[in-house]
Amino acid sequence: MIELTEVDGVPTLVAPSSGQTAAGLMFRVGQADETLSRHGLTHLVEHLALHDSGLSDYHYNGETASVYTHFHLRGSESDVVGYLDKVCAGLAALPMHRLEIEKEILRTESRSRGGTTTLPVRRYGARGYGLPGYPEWGLSRLGPDDLRQWVEDYFTRDNAVLWIAGRGVPAGLRLPLRSGVRRVVPPPTAVLPSTPAWFAGDDTSVVFSAVVRRSTAASVHSGVLERELFRDLRQEGGYSYTATSSYDPRGDGYATITAYADALPEKQGAVLGGFVDVLARMRHGAVDPRSVAAVRTKALDKLNHPEIEAARLPGHALNLLTGQRHLTVDELRAELSAVTAEQVHAVAVEAADTGLLQTPHRTTADWAGFAAAPTSSAHEADGRRYAHRDDADVALVIGPQAAGIVRPGSRATVRYDACAAMLTWPDGARRLIGDDGIVLHLEPALWAVPQAELAALDAAVDPDRHLPMPLRGPGAIPRPAAGRPSAAASRGGAANAGEVIAIVLLTLVAVALGVFGVAQAVAAIRTGGTPLDLTLLGFAAVGTALFATPVVLLRRRRR
Amino acid sequence: MTIISRPAPSALAHAAAFPEVADVRSWCRQGDWAALSGHFARLPTVDDAYFTARIVGDQPEADTFLPDVAQASPTDPLPRVLLAARAIGLAWQARTGARDVSRDRLDRMHAHLRRGEQLLIDVTARDPADGVAWALRLTNARGLELGQAEARRRYDRLARHHPHMHGAQAQLLQQLCPKWGGSWAAAFAFARTAAADAPEGGLHAGLLAQAHVERWRELRGGEQAAYFRRPDVVAELADAAARSVLHPSYRPVYGWVTTHNLFAAAFSLAGEHRRARVHFDALGDLADRFPWAYLGDPAEQFARHRARARKG
């Protein structure tokens, strides 16, 4: 059914499909290949390459995911030929005159998307698979040379796979791409000292993620988890409206299972408790075998779709790109039929061991046996100490190897040689983000520190990692409370900068909280173990978290 | 305010009321798991098992053998449930016993409760019908401050299998009071529904006496003095007593001592000494710590009000 051929040196998968032709050109490059100071690079290339595709009559799109970039469309054969030709031409000569405009479009896109989840940041830090959790901060410093180099390194015919669902390779289809090498997916980084772990997120949801070995049983496990969550939290409890789970192969033999349940503010405790109990049931294998059978049957049913081969092409392409095993429909059917409740139980045990749970804000999961994900560095920076102008308990440390903010019971330390990026504002404010995701935000007005010492930071951090930020208005620049008439009044206020520094990671949470959507339409593909990342669809904005953060502080202070 | 208002049934009264309580304690002291587990296996109701688990939870000697028993039989829920009950006992002790700063005490209390809770998460995962485990998890939810919604969820999970478990209802009623983040409306609504739904002759209507005593305790001055004089309150109490411990089909089950003590105290405070006397007479010398500790020294208050009731 599936034919593997080649177009201009690009491996090409073809499966029959009636109606319009669908096609996709996929490259093995994504956000996880970037660094924080160049985050947004792949997405920017994707946008610029598409700019000249000039198209109105058919549906085309581009997608930048964690480990791949995908240009795809549905249309007539000549549309496919024209679109892919323009994409390749765009990659060969990116329309640099569009650079600043496309950057603006990307900034707008991220605003309208409302942010992303912090789970990847908590698990992987500010590198690799953690980067999708950050804003595309690299945009501010990326220039034409950076983009050209990126295309040369990654957008090559040796790092691409084409798929076509239709009558065959359309006549006249050309893929004029430069040669290069196949790029393996980046190795995962790790910042959690122990799992299962928890951290407090927004006030709208509970999210759980786990990393397990990729298998058909693991995809069934995800389906069973979704079913159990939906039954307990929605059908029986009425605590949640949505309860889902997704299964996303990472491209390196492992897959991420992400389960999500929403929660009304007054039901948060019950959603968390119910979620914990469902996870425990899965871990103990105390799941009704009928649940496993139901998920299996549903997955098998989807394989009966007349154009299932075509529907699985994008996943097949990614497996080919990442060197992962790809099951034929028959193989998948056989594996699905053979999945047992015991195998699902074994996956649940693996998932429990690597679990990361995002609890509703103001709640914890230590009572359920989860370890707190670190919000503080293990070591204190060594160097000269400077006093905070408002808070005697807090000290800024600037040393030759690292800088840090120390407060009773916690510290944020960033080593210069492990500083993923430093945001720099024209007014002198600096924010250092460590590879481990620890954030050090420095408002010069709040510290009794000489200007020369701050300049030393600029010299210590690799200039490639400086990220210039836009000018801030005077109202947006924190000032010490002591110089103002009502020092006491501002102490508990939402804009108390000292507090903000103390909870830097929470600030990240507030800025970048998102919700995982699940693309039902591609559930069949995913069940098959193919990793097309059409799954991260609906990101929901959680602006309230911005305002809730100070509330968390005040509540904690009162306890 | 106490963190766990009712850590365990009051020692002396219940030992006197039920001779087997002394046996349970003695098996704990001897580490006689065979006798103890055999006893649990013979207990007819989930309330009996819960009551007995709380007795074990108060025995320090249980720490010497329960961990070994749990380790030797990894899937047996009973040693885990009893360890969790014991954790609640230790949590209570940590909270009230020490003289150091309250933050440390709270941390130690939470550490005990977390340990027990994790055992119970596993027990209820394997057997969602384990009423004793769920009832203990209700106490844990309160001590760990998991909130109203979670406590209610735990009760609802329990009630699917045990719709009239009085011991669990008394725990949830505590949580529903304003001191634990609930409201009087929620507390009374729950007590009234639980009382109305339960078969007559059980202890369930005693939840209304518990609710009224809690309500009275939160009031101050003239309002407090006037509360139990309200005709609607007295009428509801009289009706509740008639449906429960004064009902013809009533039999003294575990917990009856507390319920009679509640009615005796409530009617005493109402000045209804004739009504109070019935309950004092049923009790004899079985003074419970609860609710008399709300009035002062429990033994002294019990004796004083009983003397007043017997005067007529």
pLDDT digits (tens, 9 = 90+) for A112-135: 665 457 899 999 999 999 999 999
Domain-located, residue B173: no
pLDDT in tens, A423-463: 999 999 999 999 999 999 999 999 998 888 888 999 999 99
pLDDT mean over A104-117: 73
Give whole-number Cα distances, A338 to A24, A523, A524, B106, in Å.
Answer: 32, 19, 17, 50
A239·B140 Cβ contact <8 A? no
In the block, tokens 């069949």 appear at A524
**B158 plus B10 within the same structural domain:** yes
Task: Starting at the earlier edge strand, list the strands of the sheet with A410-415.
Answer: A384-387, A395-398, A402-407, A410-415
Contact A52, A195 (CB under 8 A): no
In the block, tokens 């329990």 appear at B158
Contact A262, A513 (CB under 8 A): no
Distance of alpha carbon B267 from alpha carbon B273, whole angstroms: 6
HSE at residue A457, side-chain half, CA atoms within 13 A, is: 31
Distance of alpha carbon B312 from alpha carbon B307, whole angstroms: 9
A279: nearest CA in chain B?
Answer: B125
In the structure encoding, which two tokens stand for residue B271, read together?
């000045």
In the block, tokens 């000569």 appear at A93
- Taking the alpha carbons at both ends of chain A, their separation in whole angstroms is 65
Residues in B whose CB is inside 8 Å of some CB of A read 110, 113-114, 117-118, 121-122, 124-127, 140-141, 144, 146-154, 156-157
A270·B124 Cβ contact <8 A? no
Q: What is chain B's alpha carbon radius of gyration, rounded to the nearest angstrom?
A: 19
CA distance B74 to chain A (A): 12
Distance of alpha carbon B247 from alpha carbon A381, whole angstroms: 73
Domain definitions of chain A by residue range: 3-166, 197-374+521-532+539-558, 384-474+491-502
pLDDT mean over A138-150: 95
pLDDT of A548 higher than 90: no
Set of chain A residues whose Cβ sits within 8 Å of the Cβ of B147: 268-270, 363
pLDDT mean over A149-154: 98
Distance of alpha carbon B29 from alpha carbon B63, whole angstroms: 10
Interface test with B, best of A367, A556, A559 (most B CBs within 10 A): A367
Which bin fits B222, alpha (ψ -120 to 50), beta or left (φ > 0)? alpha
In the structure encoding, which two tokens stand for residue A353, read together?
């061991």
A3-166 and A197-374+521-532+539-558 share one fold: yes
Contact B119, B68 (CB under 8 A): no
**B149 plus B6 within the same structural domain:** yes
Task: Supply φ then ψ for residue A26, to 5 degrees.
Answer: -115, 135
**B157 plus B44 within the same structural domain:** yes
Distance of alpha carbon B79 from alpha carbon B33, whole angstroms: 9
**B134 plus B223 within the same structural domain:** no
In the structure encoding, which two tokens stand for residue A411, read together?
């510290």
pLDDT of A342 higher than 90: yes
Query: Cβ–Cβ contacts within 10 Å for residue B150, how many?
Result: 28
User: Which range of residues forms the domain containing residue B10?
Assistant: 1-164
Task: Supply φ then ψ for residue A420, to 5 degrees.
Answer: -70, -35
**Residue A367 contacts B, CB cutoff 8 Å:** yes
Contact A31, A43 (CB under 8 A): yes
Q: Supply the DSSP string of A276-297, one letter for each residue.
A: HHHHHHHHTT-S-HHHHHHHHH
Q: What contacts B53, CB < 8 A, 6 or more positions away?
A: B81, B82, B85, B132, B136
Give whole-number Cα distances, B29 to A505, B116, B233, in Å.
Answer: 50, 21, 45
* CATH number of this structure's domain A3-166: 3.30.830.10
Task: Supply φ then ψ for residue A285, to 5 degrees.
Answer: 65, 20
Nearest to A498 by CA among A420, A388, A367, A410: A388
Is the ipTM higher than 0.90? The answer is yes
Percent of chain B past pLDDT 70, that is, above it, reads: 94
* CATH number of this structure's domain A384-474+491-502: 2.30.29
pLDDT of A512 higher than 50: no
CA distance B158 to chain A (A): 13
Confidence at A482, pLDDT banded by 50, 70, 90: low
Confidence at A59, pLDDT banded by 50, 70, 90: low
Contact A226, A260 (CB under 8 A): no
Q: Where are the beta strands (DSSP E) in A356-401?
A: 356-359, 371-372, 384-387, 395-398
Give whole-number Cα distances, A393 to A106, A399, A494, A498, A506, in Å.
Answer: 41, 19, 20, 11, 20
Query: Cβ–Cβ contacts within 10 Å for residue A453, how many?
Result: 16
**B235 plus B133 within the same structural domain:** no
Confidence at A287, pLDDT banded by 50, 70, 90: confident
Which bin fits A538, alpha (ψ -120 to 50), beta or left (φ > 0)? beta
Distance of alpha carbon B280 from alpha carbon B131, whole angstroms: 31
Taking domain A197-374+521-532+539-558, whether its CATH number is 3.30.830.10 is answered by: yes
Domain-located, residue B105: yes
pLDDT in tens, B285-308: 999 888 999 999 999 999 999 999
pLDDT of A310 higher than 80: yes
Distance of alpha carbon A249 from alpha carbon A44, whole angstroms: 24
Give whole-number Cα distances, B215 to B173, B188, B222, B234, in Å.
Answer: 12, 10, 14, 14
The more confident residue out of A184 and A483 is: A184
Give residue A329's pLDDT. 95
**B138 plus B31 within the same structural domain:** yes
Give residue A480's pLDDT. 87
pLDDT mean over A296-317: 95
pLDDT mean over B118-122: 97
B154·A273 Cβ contact <8 A? yes
B146·A281 Cβ contact <8 A? no
**B101 plus B18 within the same structural domain:** yes
For chain A, give the mean pLDDT. Answer: 86
pLDDT in tens, A348-359: 999 999 999 999
Distance of alpha carbon B289 from alpha carbon B278, whole angstroms: 19
A369: nearest CA in chain B?
Answer: B118
Query: Cβ–Cβ contacts within 10 Å for residue B272, how many?
Result: 18
B141·A267 Cβ contact <8 A? no
B118·A270 Cβ contact <8 A? no
Percent of chain A past pLDDT 90, that is, above it, reads: 75
Q: How many residues can be counted in chain A?
A: 559
**B8 plus B106 within the same structural domain:** yes
Amino acid at A412: A
Give residue B96's pLDDT. 76
Segment (H or E) for B14: helix B11-17
Confidence at B100, pLDDT banded by 50, 70, 90: low
**B220 plus B298 within the same structural domain:** yes
Contact A381, A402 (CB under 8 A): yes
Using CB atoms, pick whichever of A272, A281, A286 lies closest to residue B150.
Answer: A272
Contact A151, A86 (CB under 8 A): no
Contact B4, B95 (CB under 8 A): yes
pLDDT of A291 higher than 50: yes
**B150 plus B247 within the same structural domain:** no
Question: For chain B, how many structural domains are there in total?
Answer: 2
pLDDT mean over B23-43: 96
Distance of alpha carbon B45 from alpha carbon B50, whole angstroms: 9
Contact A396, A385 (CB under 8 A): yes
Q: What is chain A's alpha carbon radius of gyration, rounded to the nearest angstrom?
A: 25
Contact B21, B295 (CB under 8 A): no
Domain-located, residue B122: yes
Give residue B17's pLDDT. 79
**B127 plus B189 within the same structural domain:** no
**B133 plus B208 within the same structural domain:** no
Distance of alpha carbon B218 from alpha carbon A337, whole angstroms: 62
